[in-house]
Chains A and B, each alone.
Chain A
Amino acid sequence: GQNIDQPTEMTATEGAIVQINCTYQTSGFNGLFWYQQHAGEAPTFLSYNVLDGLEEKGRFSSFLSRSKGYSYLLLKELQMKDSASYLCAVRERGTYKYIFGTGTRLKVLA
């Protein structure tokens, strides 16, 4: 089995940079996903890391370190619309289900 941990809540200011961490204990997975979920809405795909290192996609970047068992999502030039929950997820190798972290609720303040 696996355990995926994320901080419950974070607060940051508009225009700032924030890093949301995700730590996991798992016997093996192909890659790690990040999703964004606005309140009352569906989670939407943000990024996927299969190799160690940083994947940059506009204002959002995601990092994976398999040897250290963690990933982070980096959000730059924060905007009010970035206020949402951020979920990391993996699919343990050879299984069908994706396991999600508890989610980090990000509040962006003006």
Chain B
Amino acid sequence: GAGVSQSPRYKVAKRGQDVALRCDPISGHVSLFWYQQALGQGPEFLTYFQNEAQLDKSGLPSDRFFAERPEGSVSTLKIQRTQQEDSAVYLCASSFESGTGDSPLHFGNGTRLTVT
């Protein structure tokens, strides 16, 4: 596809349930990022992949959060035993830059997670 695709668009989970959020980056983009965005706030960094390697997971808020990108393309963010404070929009972004140089991020429309 032409852009970054995320699914599902909306997810409602009962507290304690596990959820899996999918991101399909732009083909050929080496770098993939996950961000969490609360209402009225800027995106907060969660984790970064360069191809299949997870090089930075410093933003994951707890060990209930886990991300993978096993073949260096599609990525999944998994949240175990969801809590109400996990309610947010989860944004995925990709870029062609592979190192620590700058390049614009291409974002998906996000998954809005609501934990009840």
Contact B45 A43 (CB under 8 A): no
Contact B110 A30 (CB under 8 A): no
Query: Which residues from chain A contact B58 at a C-beta distance below 8 Å?
Result: 97
Task: Return the CB mask of B24-68 against A: 1 if under 8 Å, else 0.
Answer: 000000010101000011111100101000011011000000000
A39 to B40, CA, bound (A): 10
List CB contacts (< 8 Å) of A24-70 with chain B. Answer: 30-31, 33, 35, 40-45, 48, 50
Contact A87 B42 (CB under 8 A): yes
Using a Cβ–Cβ cut-off of 8 Å, how many residues does chain B contribute to the interface with A? 27
Instruction: State the main secondary structure of chain B at its contact with A.
Output: loop
Interface centre among B40, B45, B105, B110 (most CB of A within 10 A): B105
Binding site for A on B (CB under 8 A): 4, 31, 33, 35, 40-45, 48, 50, 55-56, 58-59, 91, 100-102, 104-110
Query: Given A102-B42, A103-B41, A94 and B100 touching (CB < 8 A)?
Result: yes
Contact A33 B104 (CB under 8 A): yes
Query: Which residues from chain B contact A4 at a C-beta distance below 8 Å?
Result: 42
Contact A42 B110 (CB under 8 A): yes
A48 to B3, CA, bound (A): 20
Across chains A and B, the number of contacting residue pairs, with CB separation under 8 Å, is 65
Using a Cβ–Cβ cut-off of 8 Å, how many residues does chain A contribute to the interface with B? 30
Query: Which residues from chain B contact A42 at a C-beta distance below 8 Å?
Result: 4, 91, 107-110
> 23 A–B contact pairs at CB < 8 A?
A6-B42, A8-B40, A33-B102, A33-B104, A33-B105, A35-B105, A42-B4, A42-B107, A42-B109, A43-B43, A43-B105, A45-B105, A87-B42, A87-B43, A91-B100, A91-B102, A96-B31, A96-B50, A96-B55, A97-B45, A98-B105, A99-B45, A100-B35
Binding site for B on A (CB under 8 A): 4, 6, 8, 30-31, 33, 35, 40-45, 48, 50, 87, 89, 91, 93-103, 105
Query: Given A42-B4, A97-B48, A103 and B100 touching (CB < 8 A)?
Result: no
Q: In the complex, which residue of chain A has the Cβ closest to the Cβ of B112?
A: A40
